[in-house]
Structure 1
Amino acid sequence: MTATIQWHQSSGLKFNKVKVTDTKQSWIWAVGPNEQLQSNSVDAEIDQHSHYGVFFVDMPATQNAVTTLPSISGTSNVSAEGQPDYYHGLVYAHAILLGVAFVIVFPVGVLGLRWRWSIAFKVHWMLQLFATVGAYIGLAVAVAMSITGIEYAAFGETHQILGIIVVAVLSFQVVMGYIHHVNYKRAGRRTTPSYFHLWLGRVLIYAGMVNAVL
């Protein structure tokens, strides 16, 4: 399939992210569904596209200085690069791993420590460890998506920055939890690392929840 596109660069657009000098400018595409909408009602429901994704174009290689539409021949555009088929699978894996970790498992692990069970501490650290590993894997998936140029390759989005910080600090939170446990068994009471671990955990959980909707 060949697409002929005429683009007039305008610096006045507030949210303009198209760069004519970019050798890997992202564009979106969508096709389907096959069913045609046969209604004049403004309330008619529109089905979501059956297939969609992102492709990248070498913009300097496609520029034409003339004001009329350029004539394009051939069956393919060598300046365009398609999005890998596994992209949506990575998106779902990232969302599920981080969402389950910060919205479900981490909070349940905190509540489990409040239960008067003989195994309360074991429930706490096992759930937190499970969620931490899931968060690490979720971050690895996100980084892989970005460095391969699928989307957000510049690592400049708020969601990316906050996500990396939160998951990175989890390692420190694990260490503080271990120190708290050792000190508590030795002194029989909370110490400074205990309160640091407690409040840092709360901040990380809230930050993770907020980042899920950014």
Structure 2
Amino acid sequence: MLLPKVLGRVALAATADDTFVPCFIAPADRLALSIYPPPVNAQETGQSVFVSPDNLVTFAFAAPTDHNRDVYFSLRVHQSVTWGAVGLGSDDMPNSLILMLYHDDEGTGVTFSPRIAFGNYEPEYYSHMRWEVLDGTGIQGDYLVFNARCTDHCRTWLHGSLDVFDHDQKAIWAVGPDGSLRSDDMDAPLPMHRQFGGFGIDMGRTNKVNATSISADAKNIGTETRFHQQSHRDLKSRFHAIFMIMSVCVLLPAGILCLRAGQMVRWHGIIQSVALVFAIVGVSLGIVTSFLYQRSRGFNDKHQIIGLVVFGLFFGQFVLGILHHLQFKRTNKPTKLQTPHRWTGRIILFVGTFNAFLGFSFALNRQEGYFLAALVIAVCGFSLFFMFGQGFLRRRQQRHTNGPFYGGHPSGQEPWRHQGQAQPGGGNAGYQPGYGFAGHAAPAGYAPPGGPLSPGGYAAPPPYEGPPPAQGSGASIGLSTMSPASGRDRERDRKDGDGGDLGPVQTPRETL
């Protein structure tokens, strides 16, 4: 009889006043209410569900109190991103337990990776966590889904823990860049996140739930979004690549071209100095970037080792170039440092370019390696064209300027050595009369003294005539008698070029 009486009073009071307070109930009736608690509302207990603002990550959680270590959770990640994760125990990365999901190696299943974040860098694989995979795990439509019951190291872990009775437990979430990460390794290397945020979980309301699930139209239940940020790409890594590629693949070849093709020593030194500065900045950014990823924190990857060796060679080549230049200015002769300086530059150019391709693979960004390949091909093609093409044009210009129009001679010999047929009387038919040695036509109306005009407007030079033959000699062939040359004559012959006897000195014709 007591229970109906109490329930009637409660109903009457609730109907009369919405601000009903239990203190109006008699002491005996209060004892009855404590024995029979009110029914639990479905919105007050159950799993807690978090949905990211763009629905890329969904997370459901339950921590039943009838077990000391078990935790149930479901994680769903959209296939358009490389990876998705939820971190428990903190509103920041340090000391968080990271639950991560990405494609398996074949792309037909999922790989779950538990990790611990020891700082604001790539989390490390956590091998002590134990779990059981539940039904519903796999690829469902556009999502990767993982359902599990964690049996060990989910409520407590290294440097962190969960308060399963907390109604505002801190947590974080993040997704990787667009693309596909396929690996069966739980410690697979990761690209940096593109979005991240924080939220709070009401874990106290999940203490009576022994399973979790995520529906297609899941909404936030028992969770509250705290912040959401779009993360820029890893700018330090990007600028590291830009500075190093500019130094090795652009500036270094440009400095070589300045010296080999243009003999511009000053510009060669300036460009080489700028290339060294770019290399210093690029290596510094690379070292800073290395501390953000597990794969690079040990500085034991081949890309890092080769890069540091090339950087040391860069300094060595710069010192060799300065010493060579200083010695050359004193002696005006090539030095022994020229050869090692040149070969060190070649090693830097080829090994550094090869290491750049390794760097894109190391950064999990092979697609941008195609841009580097196109740049290398363009630089090599331009260098070859500039070096060999310039030589070809120079030789062609020399052949062109050796012609009669530019003052040269078709046979490549001096005009006075051109072979021709001798004319009767000692003249040389090979001589082409003209205005000067170049064979230009004389001005119209010009008549040299001592001869009539020829049809071309100028007169042929007079034929060579030797001295009259001596009395009593035989037939003359027009040659003068030979006499031993004096020392002064031999000196004059050497000044003329080859010492040949060109006959008596004749006065040049008068020109206009």
What TM-score range do you get, normalising by the shorter chain?
A: 0.5 to 0.7
Question: Counterparts of 1:209 and 1:94 in 2: how far apart (Å)?
Answer: 14
Question: Counterparts of 2:281 and 2:330 in 1: how far apart (Å)?
Answer: 34
Instruction: Tell me if 1:106 matches 2:173.
Output: no
AA of the residue aligned to 2:290: S
Change (3 A) 1:162 1:28: farther
- Aligned position for 1:199: 343
C-alpha contact 2:192 2:233 (8 A) present in aligned 1 = yes
Give the SS at the match of 1:191: coil
C-alpha contact 1:97 1:137 (8 A) present in aligned 2 = yes
Change (3 A) 1:2 1:111: same
Question: Counterparts of 1:27 and 1:163 in 2: how far apart (Å)?
Answer: 34
- Per the normalisation by structure 2, the TM-score is 0.29
AA of the residue aligned to 2:254: V
C-alpha contact 1:2 1:76 (8 A) present in aligned 2 = no
Say which structure, 1 or 2, has more relative contact order (CA 8 Å, 6+ apart): 1
AA of the residue aligned to 1:126: I
Per-residue CA deviations over 1:12-48 (Å, capped at 9, x if unaligned) read xxxxxxxxxxx99x99878xxxxxxxxxxxxxxxxxx
Per-residue CA deviations over 1:138-157 (Å, capped at 9, x if unaligned) read 00000001134465111111
- Aligned position for 2:239: 93
Equivalent of 2:130, from 39, 60, 64? 64
- Aligned position for 1:76: 171
C-alpha contact 1:162 1:211 (8 A) present in aligned 2 = yes
Question: Counterparts of 1:153 and 1:147 in 2: how far apart (Å)?
Answer: 5
Per-residue CA deviations over 1:166-188 (Å, capped at 9, x if unaligned) read 01221111111111001111222
AA of the residue aligned to 1:70: R
- Per the normalisation by structure 1, the TM-score is 0.65
Question: Counterparts of 1:204 and 1:101 in 2: how far apart (Å)?
Answer: 10
Alignment of 1:64-213 (within 5 A): 64=130, 69-71=148-150, 76=171, 85=231, 88-116=234-262, 120-149=264-293, 151-213=295-357
Q: What residue ranges of structure 1 are gaps of 5+ in the alignment?
A: 7-22, 31-53
Give the SS at the match of 1:76: strand
C-alpha contact 1:109 1:123 (8 A) present in aligned 2 = yes
Question: Counterparts of 1:142 and 1:57 in 2: how far apart (Å)?
Answer: 21
| Higher Cα radius of gyration | 2
Alignment of 1:50-61 (within 5 A): 55-57=122-124, 59-60=126-127
C-alpha contact 2:259 2:265 (8 A) present in aligned 1 = yes
C-alpha contact 2:124 2:294 (8 A) present in aligned 1 = no
Report which of the two has the higher share of strand.
Answer: 2
Instruction: Give how far 1:194 is off.
Output: 1.3
Question: Counterparts of 1:162 and 1:137 in 2: how far apart (Å)?
Answer: 17
Instruction: Give how far 1:130 is off.
Output: 0.7
**Structure 1 stretch displaced more, 162-171 or 185-194:** 185-194
Change (3 A) 1:187 1:158: same
C-alpha contact 1:93 1:138 (8 A) present in aligned 2 = yes
Question: Counterparts of 2:333 and 2:259 in 1: how far apart (Å)?
Answer: 15
C-alpha contact 2:313 2:344 (8 A) present in aligned 1 = no
Instruction: Give how far 1:89 is off.
Output: 0.8
Report which of the two has the higher share of helix.
Answer: 1
| Identical amino acids, percent of aligned pairs | 23
Paired residue total: 168
Question: Counterparts of 1:28 and 1:178 in 2: how far apart (Å)?
Answer: 54
C-alpha contact 2:122 2:292 (8 A) present in aligned 1 = no
Question: Counterparts of 2:74 and 2:331 in 1: how far apart (Å)?
Answer: 72
Change (3 A) 1:205 1:75: same
Question: Counterparts of 1:146 and 1:5 in 2: how far apart (Å)?
Answer: 33
Give the SS at the match of 2:123: strand
Question: Counterparts of 1:184 and 1:27 in 2: how far apart (Å)?
Answer: 65
Instruction: Give how far 1:107 is off.
Output: 0.4
Alignment of 1:27-66 (within 5 A): 55-57=122-124, 59-60=126-127, 63-64=129-130
AA of the residue aligned to 2:149: P
C-alpha contact 1:99 1:212 (8 A) present in aligned 2 = yes
Question: Counterparts of 1:28 and 1:66 in 2: how far apart (Å)?
Answer: 15
**Structure 1 stretch displaced more, 195-204 or 140-149:** 140-149
